Amino acid sequence: MPDPKRALKNEVHVWLVQPASWRHAFDQDGLILSADERAAADEFTLEHLRERYTIAHCAVRRLLSLYADTPPGSWVFRRGKRGRPRIAGDSGLRFSLSYGDDLIAVAITRDVGLGIDIVSTRRRVDAMQIAEHAFAPNEIAELRSMGAESVRDRFFDYWALKEAYAKATGAGFWDKPRRYAFSFPRQGAVAFRHDGNEDGGQWQFVLASAPRDHRLAVAVRIGFGRPRNIVARIAPGGESIALGADRKR
């Protein structure tokens, strides 16, 4: 695996964490968590959710340490908007965390707004009911024009993109989600429009299939810079993985 400290320039690294493999590789890993993180884990009444939280936050610490001379247990986090953790100080590193059903996604880059969302397409949802409250008119219109199975697929596309964008901006998903809209002008392309003062051209969005029936979206505020390469790896281990090609539109 290339040196992450050097490779991260102009890239976004997406790490897909397999909880079972992580548990086997890092027994007693919860010891690297802060007291606040351990307390947050203890608030989960269900064991599998408590374990997932612990693995995810341990993974964030160990993965960040690939990019800086900071031991996993020494990272200090502050809570930003909506309680999302961010790195204290001015390291330049940015990360975003998302939970799937049996897969955890961590995105890491430098110096720009970053959000990631991973969602299991096996989830049971009332797609149209949620869309009526959270999606923009053009998104709802597209869903209405589709058959039942296609509606589910497209719903998760929109959901993942909106979640990733909300995380990158520090907002919550329900902070006026109808004000911004996504569309798919051609295969593999994601277009973005905002009714407010947000310039859609300053954003990069990537949408892809991930293992175990997941959809994954990454949002990067690139400003007027060049799009960043998205590099995906499995953790632990570091093996490269090709995210699934986007479905035909």
Domain 10-235 listed as CATH 3.30.70.20: no
Place of tokens 């960040």: 64
pLDDT digits (tens, 9 = 90+) for 202-233: 999 999 999 999 999 999 999 988 999 999 99
Per-domain residue ranges for the chain? 10-235
> Read out DSSP for 54-105?
HHHHHHHHHHHTTSSS--GGG--EEE-GGG-EEESSS--EEEEEEE-SS-EE
**What is the rounded distance in angstroms from the CA atom of residue 61 to the CA atom of residue 4?**
15
pLDDT digits (tens, 9 = 90+) for 44-84: 999 999 999 999 999 999 999 999 999 999 999 998 777 78
Overall size of the chain counted in residues: 249
- Given a cut of 60, whether residue 249 has pLDDT beyond it is no
pTM: 0.93
Q: Which of 8, 118, 106 is nearest to 59 (CA)?
A: 106
